[in-house]
Homo-oligomer: A and B are copies of this chain.
């Protein structure tokens, strides 16, 4: 059976919608075929089993949530300051909002990972590497704040995005202001850390 990359991506995008809409128990290869409007059996030609599908979905959500390099380069022309960090975090949040399905699918995968040790191990590896990437980017770019500050920013933004996607009334439209306050308070007196 020949495979093509566009078809694979379309199947993964359909799987993300199924996960976000139905939850992880609703995610079967058959449900993906239906959501992608392809003949029954197509997904099983691309993914050996459900575990392999789950693994590839994770990679696809990262692709979808990655910033446009040109836009990021443009943002990074600004002077290094707590305000610039706040702008970068607002942009992360904006991407999540613009692609709710990807973030909800990631939350479903996290919960599924607590039940499937192999997926759990893979997620631990991916999320740990991603946090290290964020820390490296922050420090290499000379942004204010040390390693611990970046981790604290990551945790607060993660909590904020989970609330914003699942119980949006709690922050009642204040997410942007809270992001600014977070950076002002955590980074206000911080120098860049070259460690």
User: Which residues of A are at the interface with B, using a C-beta cutoff of 8 A?
Assistant: 20-26, 104, 107-108, 110-115, 120, 123-125, 127-128, 131, 148-149, 151-152, 154-160, 162-163, 165-172, 178, 181-182, 185-186
Contact B123 A167, beta carbon cutoff 8 Å: yes
Determine whether the beta carbon of A154 is less than 8 Å from that of B159.
yes
Chain B residues closer than 8 Å to A112, beta-carbon distance: 23
Q: Can you list 30 contacts pairing A with B, beta carbon distance less than 8 Å?
A: A20-B114, A21-B115, A22-B115, A23-B24, A23-B25, A25-B25, A107-B107, A110-B166, A110-B167, A113-B166, A120-B166, A124-B169, A125-B169, A128-B167, A128-B169, A148-B181, A152-B156, A152-B182, A154-B159, A155-B159, A155-B160, A155-B178, A156-B156, A157-B159, A158-B158, A158-B162, A159-B159, A159-B160, A185-B186, A186-B186
Contact A155 B166 (CB under 8 A): no
Nearest residue (CB) in B for A20 is B114
Residues of B within 8 A of A178 (CB): 148, 151-152, 155
Known A-B contacts: A104-B114, A128-B172, A159-B160. Give 17 more (CB < 8 A): A21-B115, A22-B25, A23-B23, A23-B25, A23-B115, A24-B25, A25-B25, A110-B166, A110-B167, A124-B169, A124-B170, A127-B170, A128-B169, A149-B185, A152-B156, A152-B182, A156-B159
CA separation between A89 and B22, bound complex, in Å?
A: 34
Collect the chain B residues with CB atoms within 8 Å of residue A170's CB.
124, 127-128, 131
Complex formed: what's the CA distance from A172 to B25 in Å?
29
